[in-house]
Amino acid sequence: MNAPYVPLLIFMGLGFAFAAGSVLTSLVVGPRRYNAAKAMAYECGIQPSPQADEGGRVPIKYYLTAMLFIIFDVESLFLYPFAVSFNRLGLFALVEMVLFMLTVFIAYAYVWRRGGLNWE
């Protein structure tokens, strides 16, 4: 019986077991000293402003940064399986991946030109 996905399932199981074990260990072993400072949001050492809690405006840069991260994260998710099975896919898949990367790089150049990567 040829089971090519067994190592992947074992790896995923070990990853899940490690994550669950880490969380459970921290709950059992970690100290339980709660205070008001630990419950507050941390904003780079600056006192948190109540503006966002009261429905104030949040700068759009936060959302743009999050969307850019998601776009390039999804790109890396598409590139990894392609790189793993590159030898078996052939020329058609290579052309498709070049077109995909070209599309993403055009979007990257557009965002860069518009100043979406400048954090001021």
* Residue 93 contacts residue 82 (beta carbons within 8 Å): yes
pLDDT tens per residue, range 19-52: 999 999 999 998 888 787 777 766 666 665 656 5
pLDDT tens per residue, range 65-82: 788 888 888 888 888 888
Closest by CA to 65, choosing from 116, 110, 114, 105, is 116
Closest by CA to 93, choosing from 79, 106, 74, 75, is 79
Give the three-state DSSP class for 32: coil
Provide the token pair at 70.
């998601």
Kindly tell me if the per-residue pLDDT of 98 is higher than 80.
yes
pLDDT of residue 107: 83
pLDDT of residue 99: 92
